[in-house]
Amino acid sequence: MPALLVRQPSPRLVEGELTHLPRVDVDADLARAQWDDYVDVFRARGWDVTPLSAADENPDGVFVEDTVVFFDGLAVITRPGALSRRDEITTARRAVAASRIPFAEIDEPGTLEGGDVLKVGRTAYVGRSSRTNDAGIAQLRALLAPRGWDVVAVPVTKVLHLKTAVTALADGTVIGYEPLVDDVSAFPTFLPIPEPEGSAVVVLDDRAVLISASAPRTVALLRERGWQVVETPVTEFEKLEGCVTCLSVRIRT
Ligand code: CIR
């Protein structure tokens, strides 16, 4: 049964960081309801969902993907580029240590956020973004090279994280909203999709993906191509530059 880490939204969610979007009202109650529905998608499919300890003092703590990345046999605790997010790794580290999965950490001067790490096969594309720097990418490469992973740095200037702009289907096809992708040629197979909110998908199994309910044209395109698509509303998190990927981390041992 696949396993997933999540973290409930902080009461201070509305104070979350913004980099590329203007601040608009976030409905905290609706965000909580959307988060409950999101978690239910996985539970209904039999996934083992583990909530990290609440981090109510961290407005962006719900975006748990940014704090730890799992590769086969190694978890990498990140070092967020956003100072307001550094504390979030304390609880992520504790959960990983308790799970007994071997782990390493990104150290100063490196910064890395999980939203910048897109795994396709044994390649990790890593966004060089406002949150992830060259030192962080070099540290990740040093950790992964002995394990047979390629680490490919790609530029990210138009959105917060690499996975805000592109994610991958189960067959390795990278999908993204082209106007927000810095370098489409970085990916061997690229499928343009028609809406920015459709860029982020979570692979549920070999045939099914989870996607934002704000991307109906992308849903139609993926269904036409034979994918099963589960939609869930994440509007309140999208207002804070979040998306379906950043609300969870899949544990890989
Ligand atoms: C931030 O700026 O850090 C949060 N407001 C959003 C983080 C979204 N994380 C992600 O896409 N992996």
How does pLDDT run across 25-69, given as a tens digit for each residue?
999 999 999 999 999 999 999 999 999 999 999 999 999 999 999
Q: Comparing C-alpha atoms, which of 56, 63, 92, 11 is closest to residue 237?
A: 63
Q: What's residue 66's pLDDT?
A: 98
Mutation test residue for ligand 1: of 38, 66, 79, the one with most atoms within 8 Å of CB: 66
- The CA 22 to ligand 1 mean position distance, Å, reads 14
Provide the token pair at 27: 């409905």
Mutation test residue for ligand 1: of 24, 60, 131, the one with most atoms within 8 Å of CB: 60
Tell me if 164 CB under 6 Å of ligand 1.
yes
**CB of 253 within 8 A of CB of 232?**
no
Residues 6+ positions from 92 with CB-CB distance below 8 Å: 5, 52, 64, 67, 68, 77
Please state which architecture CATH assigns to domain 3-251.
5-stranded Propeller (3.75)
- Tokens 């034979």 belong to 226
- The predicted model gives 198-214 an average pLDDT of 98
- The predicted model gives 106-118 an average pLDDT of 98
Q: How far apart (Å, rounded) are the C-alpha atoms in residues 141 and 162?
A: 17
Q: What's residue 190's pLDDT?
A: 98
Q: How far apart (Å, rounded) are the C-alpha atoms in residues 32 and 193?
A: 28
Q: How far apart (Å, rounded) are the C-alpha atoms in residues 113 and 86?
A: 10
Does 253 score more than 90 pLDDT? no
- The CA 55 to ligand 1 mean position distance, Å, reads 15
Tell me if 237 CB under 6 Å of ligand 1.
no
Q: Which of 165, 240, 246, 249 is catalytic?
A: 246
Peptide bond into 146 cis (omega under 30): no
Q: How far apart (Å, rounded) are the C-alpha atoms in residues 52 and 60?
A: 13
| pTM summary value | 0.97
* 20 in catalytic set: no
Q: What's residue 176's pLDDT?
A: 98
Angle of CA points 155, 157, 160, to nearest 5°: 105
- The predicted model gives 215-222 an average pLDDT of 98
